Structure 1
Amino acid sequence: MTRKRGWPGPPVRGIGLGALAVGAACAAPMVGLDGFIGELAASWRPHIVLGTLICAAMAFAVRFLLLAGSLVALAVVLGADVARTEMDSAQAEARSASRNGDAAVRVVFANILIVNDDTDKFVAWIESSDPDVVVATEFSPGHVQQMAEAMGNYPFQVLQPRWHPYGMVIYSRYPISGEAVTELVKDTPPASAPIIVTVGVETPAGTLHVTGLHPFPPITPQRLARRNEQFAIAGDILVDTDVPKLVVGDFNATPWSAGLRAFVSDNDLTGFNTRATWPAWFGLAGIPIDHAFVSRNLRILDIETGPDIGSDHRPILISVSPVRSP
């Protein structure tokens, strides 16, 4: 005669089955099922791995061994992908970089938040970190005015501010050439369209092709499709040249997003950021959606996440150097 399980068996079973469902959705993009639910779940993949293991321990404690084993197996599959992404990350590349005294170009990317009316924290961090190039999005005409004096140390400027979240600016202490501004959505009114800004920065080590990108957030299935379309448009703009390329932005996608992985692969880029940048108040428990990708002829020497700048994002600072010819 089988002994009937009492409390807490039924709740644990329900929680465990729910964790299996969430984990399966999280794994869906890994097998080519690039849907809206899978995208959202994959954005929190490390968190889901941890939650799945906790649920597995709960199931094991009440002797639901099949459920516990299934949860552990799912956590291993998801965790292996998280580990693989970490091995391919900008952080991993920076740890293994050999500097050899090479001159580095230091670039900041920041989403400063369109409604952020106190830019003092951002300016203070720029002054202390002393980058060569600053790329920022959610930049309004008011922000340009507020920071005009502080950004005077960057005489070469491309200013495309907007009163909506898709304004973009690039400040550089080195000369800028080949400026290009392109709308990412052709059927959206210019007053609200995301843009991609591309410039050539004439650094002491040679020309660096810098691109700033901020596509739609995937908050609905339609917006997910539009974001991926914007990745494709951006890819067409990233001309196939031998000039080293750095692509920075708020991609509204994590390293586990199928759409972002396709963008990186299709354009032969490297450098997933795996450190949390959003939401800023989550700290280390947030997710990485702000990235800095490089072409194969650039090396990532260092990448770090910046402090609270009054935005819902934390900025990133990346140091790059051209790859030496053998």
Structure 2
Amino acid sequence: MFWLLFFCTVLCVIFCVVPLSRHPHWIVRAMDFPRLQIALFLIFLVIADVVFLDFNLGSSWTLLLTSMVCLSWQLWWILPYTPLWKKEVKTARDHRPDSEVSILTANVLTPNRNAEALIELVREHKPDVLVTLESDQWWQDQLVELSDEMGYRIKCPLDNLYGMHVFSRFPLEDPTISFLIEEDVPSIHALLVLPTGDKIRVHFLHPAPPSPTENEESTERDAELVIVGRSVAESDLPIIVTGDLNDVAWSATTRLFRKISGLLDPRVGRGMFNTFHVDYFFLRWPLDHLFHSEHFTLKSIQRLPSIGSDHFSLLTRLVYNPAYGSNQEGLEADVADRQWAQDINQQQESNKNDVPSFRD
């Protein structure tokens, strides 16, 4: 039993230490994902240590303490995404219909042909904006049914799992489809005009993930996040960034994006809102995100029922209230963070000026 517990402890140490290298290989970056699952495993491991080890031996104390340190380390990453943490975004306190904006972010999974389920969600929840990811020409043809309800549209149908569509009840000014890092991976950018006349910079992203079947390293994904983050950080306009970022909320790279951009995460202090994978409840992570500037407070955020995709959809309702939200604070970048962001940009030869910035 000692050697089994020893092996399990060593494995957990590897999962704690290797991601500290920040190496972009997909195997290393994948270790950011299962922090919740590893933490649960470590709880059972600590219990097993207490039950089965002989604490007359110094080696038993070493195993127990090592397991407890690993558990503390994993909890440090994931606890902000639980109600145990202080909320990063204030809860909206006023009913301001003309200043509200709701966004439904849906990775539909290209082979999925259950468009009616998504249409039903739209008609039930009535979001102001719908962004679909992995939507091809077939999905575009099916969602034309929403044209009367959501009259403003940006279309980028692709059959490579990176198609993207935006449907909106509010006007979309200066819509732009960009291929920021990879020539076949688009992003969509626009100014969303609220009924009050206030304009919001919106960025819809779906960078390719690091994986054995996609990019071997995460640098392409990370570079897209960094240049968007650096671009919005220089803007005085209200900002919303949403999409499937193919990265978990607590990873070092997503945290880098939040630090560089200055944007807030409404999930902090509320929950993980794991959106992937629909079919495996024990292997779920928050891959679909919405970040925003301090101009907004949160009315609600919820994960919606399955539409036949491998992702759940995410519905976020924000209230534009700059005065009330002015003292909200997220993560701050230090010198090391800015150097890391610069290194990522240099490696991919990417530039924040490639991101549509509009005029403040």
What is the distance in 2 between the residues matched to 1:147 and 1:306? 18
Tell me, yes or no, if structure 1 residue 108 matches structure 2 residue 104.
yes
Q: Residue type matched to 1:21 in 2?
A: I
Tell me, yes or no, if structure 1 residue 24 matches structure 2 residue 14.
no
Give yes or no for contact 2:12–2:70 (8 Å, CA) kept in 1. no
The Cα offsets for residues 171-211 of structure 1, whole Å up to 9 and x where unpaired, read as 1111111111110225x4xxxx1111011111123212221
Tell me, yes or no, if structure 1 residue 286 matches structure 2 residue 281.
no
Q: What does residue 184 of structure 1 align with?
A: 180
The Cα offsets for residues 263-301 of structure 1, whole Å up to 9 and x where unpaired, read as 121111111642110011124751001000001222222
Cα offset, 1:237, TM superposition: 5.0
Q: Identify the match of residue 29 of structure 2 among 32, 36, 39.
A: 39
Tell me, yes or no, if structure 1 residue 14 matches structure 2 residue 10.
no
Identify which range, 105-114 or 266-275, moves more after superposition: 266-275
Cα offset, 1:101, TM superposition: 1.5
Q: Residue type matched to 2:135 in 1?
A: F
Cα offset, 1:81, TM superposition: 2.8
Cα offset, 1:309, TM superposition: 0.7
What is the distance in 2 between the residues matched to 1:162 and 1:88? 41
Q: Residue type matched to 1:143 in 2?
A: W
What is the distance in 2 between the residues matched to 1:150 and 1:237? 32
Give yes or no for contact 2:91–2:298 (8 Å, CA) kept in 1. yes
What is the distance in 1 between the residues matched to 2:92 and 2:232? 27
Tell me, yes or no, if structure 1 residue 92 matches structure 2 residue 82.
no
Q: Identify the match of residue 203 of structure 1 among 178, 191, 194.
A: 194
**RMSD over aligned Cα atoms:** 2.3
| 1:150–1:297 Cα change, 3 Å | closer
Count of residue pairs brought into register by the alignment = 308
Cα offset, 1:93, TM superposition: 4.6
Q: What does residue 5 of structure 1 align with?
A: none
Identify which range, 298-307 or 130-139, moves more after superposition: 298-307
Give the 3-state SS of the residue equivalent to 1:304 in structure 2.
strand
Tell me, yes or no, if structure 1 residue 229 matches structure 2 residue 223.
yes
Give the 3-state SS of the residue equivalent to 1:253 in structure 2.
coil
What is the distance in 2 between the residues matched to 1:48 and 1:162? 36
What is the distance in 1 between the residues matched to 2:24 and 2:217? 12
* TM-score (ref. length: structure 1): 0.87
Give the 3-state SS of the residue equivalent to 1:181 in structure 2.
strand
Matches within 5 A, 1:208-287: 208-220=200-212, 222-235=216-229, 238=232, 240-271=234-265, 273=267, 274-283=272-281, 285-287=283-285
The Cα offsets for residues 81-132 of structure 1, whole Å up to 9 and x where unpaired, read as 321354798x9356x4132122321111110011112211111111101101
Give the 3-state SS of the residue equivalent to 1:134 in structure 2.
strand
Cα offset, 1:21, TM superposition: 2.2
Q: What does residue 55 of structure 1 align with?
A: 45
Q: Residue type matched to 2:202 in 1?
A: V
What is the distance in 1 between the residues matched to 2:153 and 2:235? 24
The Cα offsets for residues 244-266 of structure 1, whole Å up to 9 and x where unpaired, read as 11111000001222111111211
What is the distance in 2 between the residues matched to 1:146 and 1:97? 36
Q: What does residue 310 of structure 1 align with?
A: 308
Give yes or no for contact 2:207–2:246 (8 Å, CA) kept in 1. yes
| 1:164–1:55 Cα change, 3 Å | same
Give the 3-state SS of the residue equivalent to 1:153 in structure 2.
coil
Give the 3-state SS of the residue equivalent to 1:142 in structure 2.
helix
List gaps (5 residues or longer) in structure 2: 54-59, 325-360
What is the distance in 2 between the residues matched to 1:101 and 1:11? 57
The percent of aligned pairs where both chains have the same amino acid is: 20
Give yes or no for contact 1:86–1:92 (8 Å, CA) kept in 2. no
List gaps (5 residues or longer) in structure 1: 1-7
What is the distance in 1 between the residues matched to 2:2 and 2:322? 61
Give the 3-state SS of the residue equivalent to 1:148 in structure 2.
helix
Q: Residue type matched to 2:44 in 1?
A: I
